Amino acid sequence: MLSMLLALWASRTSLFNEMIVGNDADYQRAFEAAQALLQDAEFDIRSETPNGDPCIAANCRNNVGTAYKIPLDKQEVSPLLADLDQAATKCLSGLCLKRAGRQDFWNTTSSTTLATGEVKLSDMTQPNVGARYGQYSGATVGATGTANPILADTSANDRGGWYWIEVLPYDESSKNSGLIVGGPNTDNLLRLNLKPNVAYRITALAFGRKAGTIAVLQQTYVRQVRAN
C-alpha cells in the first residue's frame, strides 16, 4: 500500500510539473508573437518591410485602398482622427484614437460593465478594427514549421495575434496639451522634432495555443525628423 501511494504521488507530481512547463512554454510563444507584432506595427508606421526597404507590396498599407493611412503631414491628422472618432471602437484598420477610460481592454469579458467610451476585447479583435501580423507591412510569417505558429493562426478572431496603433497628437507649444509634460511651464516640456506632431502607442496582443493564455505588450513610438 505504501509503495502504491508513493508511486501515485510521484505520478501526480510529474503530471503537475509537466502542466507547469507546458503553460510556461505556451506563454513564451505568445510573448514572442506579441514582440513580433510590436515590431510589425513599427514597420507599418514607417511604411517599411522587415528588411528596411520601402513597402510597395500589394498588402502594404498605402496600397490597400480600404485601409486608413498613417498621417504624413499635419493636414492629414485631423481628418484621420475625425474618421476614427465615428467608429464604435474608435479604431479602424489598426489605427485608433487615444483610448478613453479603461486602458486594459484585454481584461474585459462579455460580462464586464463598461463606462462610456470603453470597449471589450471581443470588439477590438475584429478584421476591420485591429491588424494582423504582416497585414499592412508586407511581412510574411515564414515557412511552415519554422515560424511562430501563433502569428500564422487567423482561423478565428480570438486566435493568433493583433495590434492597434493609437494616434496621439503631440503639441509641444502648450503645457496642457503636450503628451509628455513636466513642471508648470513650457521650458520643462519634452521637445521632439516630429513631422507631423504625432506619437503612437502600440498595443500588441497574442493568444496562446492553450485557452486562457494571452500576452500583451505596449510601447510608445515616435518618428523624429533627422537633421540634414
Strand 91-92 relative to strand 95-96, pairing: antiparallel
In a domain, 7, yes or no: no
In a domain, 5, yes or no: no
Residue among 137, 116, 120 nearest 129 (CA)? 120
pLDDT at 14: 58
pLDDT level of residue 21 (50, 70, 90 thresholds): low
Residue among 114, 120, 118, 115 nearest 157 (CA)? 120
- Percent of the chain exceeding pLDDT 90 equals 50
Bridge partners, 48 (sequence order): 54
Counting beta carbons within 10 angstroms of the beta carbon of residue 113, is it exposed (0 to 12), middle (13 to 18) or buried (19 or more)? exposed
In a domain, 10, yes or no: no
In a domain, 204, yes or no: yes
In a domain, 214, yes or no: yes
In a domain, 78, yes or no: yes
In a domain, 27, yes or no: yes
Buried-state track 70-91, b at ≥16 Cβ within 10 A, e below 16? bbeeeeebeebbeebeebebbb
Q: Which residue has the higher pLDDT, 190 or 141?
A: 141
Rounded to whole angstroms, the Cα distance separating 49 from 40 reads 9
pLDDT at 184: 52
**What's the domain count of the chain?**
1
Structural domain range at position 155:
22-224
Q: Using an 8 Å Cβ cutoff, are 161 and 204 in contact?
A: yes
pLDDT in tens, 59-117: 899 999 899 999 999 899 999 999 999 999 999 999 999 998 888 999 988 888 888 88
pLDDT in tens, 101-119: 888 999 988 888 888 888 9
In a domain, 48, yes or no: yes
